[in-house]
Amino acid sequence: MIMSWISYLEVTIFFALAVSLSVVSAGSLQDIKHVVLFMQENRAFDHYFGTMPGVRGFADPNVQVNPDGRTTFQQPVTKQQTNKADQLTPWYINYLGGEWLEATQCMGAGDWGWEHMHAAYNGGLTNQWAATNTPYSIGFFKRSDIPVHFDIAEGWTVGDMYQESILGSTDPNRIIWMSGTVNNPGTPSNPDGDGNMILDNYASPGCEKPHLNCYPFTWKTIPEYWTDAGVSWQVYQDVDNFQDNMLAYFTQYQKAGKKSPLTKHGKAYLGLQQFYDDAANGTLPEISYIVGPAELSEHYPYLPSDGAWLQKKVVDAVTSSPLYNETVLIISYDEVGGYADHVTPYTAPKDTPGEWIHDPYEMVGNTPVGPGFRLPFSIISPWTRGGHVFTEHADHNSQNLFVEEWLTAHGYQNIRSKEMPPWRREHMSNLLGAFDFDHPDYSIPPITDSIPPLTDPTIPISHDSPLGSLDGNYIGAAYCQAMHKTSQPPVPYGPANAAFDTSLLAEEGFKRVRGALTEG
């Protein structure tokens, strides 16, 4: 009996110690010391990753079926567009091969402003991409066209329910990314609607209409919370930043003195080379924004292949850094750029304060401001390695929510944005479900080599030139347009396309899910 009791006691102590040790060794948010936020331009999820296996792409088993019997893959077309069919399904942009493989790199699709995005949305039917935008909107690339993008997304974790924050263009989406809100009526910063909101690209002094698109903006931005809390941060940008650094659109940054942290960290043109150097030297701040040059942004007519070169350069800088084992890199896109996505946006219930407004352009009555359509989204880190898919509803504020949780875990206080709309804070993911802190994987997956962007050495680099990137004068888009009479191939209207089973477009395979399951 004595021996049995001793054995029982030894076993009990052993397991208690084991549990204690596992708790001590378990990973957590505190393992992250650096976060890098990198946003590109104007591409939709289906347009890039619709054929990817294991995601909610062209093989979506839960595709929406509208009252007319069509799915959102079956986009109606007008008789003015064609008499060969009454609908168009997603089609491979390079189906003709040959020179189109290069020409479509600088191809545009449709419009991406408030009017056209709400037209495509069509009150939740999501059935006007081809008819009211263009048939090119539902064209897509395959893995062979954008291998670097696929390698990055599948090497770590890809999100397939990450949405643009606004059913609209670049400026309001990037403003939410950097400030948490567009200040629309009903939000904490504009509860009574007397303030000024931003819903479209507008950077001229004054207002487009009363209380609409009033430049410059005045509410508190996310980095100001970081500054107040003592968090280190930096915007890395070249002189050519495509005017994508929205902090420069705010009065407080415009009026900040040279020695102000808002100027030094938010407006200085350090160049992207400084980011590469800081990563290599292990001197990155806690939070980095990367705002790339226009020519590498992937915004039409700029080439996805040139954007791939920049993405690989950023990923390589992070993964080869001595800081990689404690760093998270998030790669996202600001908005869809006129390209289609088949998933109807997840939005707040009708008339939710801060989410639904009366359309100031008088087109659609009461309407959600967002979230909008899905975007390509990847999280690169040791805790997201392994080819997973993250399925939680997310938008640009999810990046802000993640940073808030991470900084809170490190003991920072008063870093939660008071401007963020409550519905977003409650219903958009904070991304934590994408991470497995107990099982980090520090290995680096192979990424396809990318061809450097075409440059013209005869154009002198100038800090005042629109081509004045500190990395070189990029001419890929200009060359593409000059070499090809058109970058838009013939649309494959006809019975074969109209009746095509879209699920056959997707590659075979699967991905293990991270985070809470959503529909699809």
Terminal Cα distance for the chain, rounded: 59
Tell me the C-alpha distance between 494 and 506, whole Å. Answer: 21
* pLDDT recorded at residue 335: 98
Biggest distance spanned by C-alpha atoms of the chain: 93
Within-domain flag for 520: no
Q: Does 2 map to a domain?
A: no
Residue 5: inside a domain: no
- Could you give the angle at the alpha carbon of 36 between the alpha carbons of 35 and 38, nearest 5°? 150
**How many helices and strands (H and E) does the chain possess?**
15, 14
Residue 75 included in any domain = yes
220 within a domain of the structure (yes/no): yes
Tokens of 133: 């935008």
Helix (H, G, I), strand (E, B), or coil: what is residue 191?
A: coil
**Cα separation, 278 vs 284, whole angstroms:** 5
Residue 130 DSSP label = I
φ and ψ at residue 237, rounded to 5 degrees: -155, 150
CA-based angle 194:365:394, to the nearest 5?
A: 80
Q: How far apart are CA 239 and CA 462, in angstroms?
A: 9
Query: What is the spatial distance between Cα 53 and Cα 368, in angstroms, rounded to a whole number?
Result: 31
Query: What is the predicted pLDDT for the residue at 240?
Result: 86
What is the tally of structural domains in the chain?
1
Q: How many residues does the chain have?
A: 520
Q: What is the pLDDT of residue 459?
A: 64
Q: In which domain, by residue range, is 117 found? A: 31-514
SS (H, E, C) 386-447: CCEEECCCECHHHHHHHHHHHHHHCCCCCCCCCCCCHHHHHHCCCCHHHCCCCCCCCCCCCC
Quote the DSSP letter at residue 129.
Answer: I
Q: Residue 147: CB partners within 8 Å, gap ≥ 6?
A: 308, 448
Instruction: Return the pLDDT at 12.
Output: 43
pLDDT in tens, the chain (520 residues): 444 444 444 444 444 444 333 333 478 999 999 999 999 999 999 999 999 999 999 999 999 999 999 999 999 999 999 999 999 999 999 999 999 999 999 999 989 899 999 999 999 999 999 999 999 999 999 999 999 999 999 999 999 999 999 999 999 999 999 999 999 999 999 999 889 999 999 888 999 999 999 999 999 999 999 999 999 999 999 988 999 999 999 999 999 999 999 999 999 999 999 999 999 999 999 999 999 999 999 999 999 999 999 999 999 999 999 999 999 999 999 999 999 999 999 999 999 999 999 999 999 999 999 999 999 999 999 999 999 999 999 999 999 999 999 999 999 999 999 999 999 999 999 999 999 999 999 999 999 999 999 988 776 555 444 444 444 589 999 999 999 999 999 999 999 999 999 999 999 999 999 999 987 5
12 domain-assigned:
no
Query: Tokens in use for 492?
Result: 């494959």
Q: Are 480 and 301 in contact (CB under 8 A)?
A: yes
Q: Tokens 């590469």 label which residue?
A: 276
- Locate 329 and state its tokens: 């890199």
pLDDT for 435 equals 99
CATH number of the domain encompassing residue 502: 3.40.720.10
Look up the pTM and report it.
0.93
DSSP letter at 348 equals: P
Q: How far is CA 470 from the centre of its chain?
A: 24
User: Is residue 38 included in any domain, yes or no?
Assistant: yes
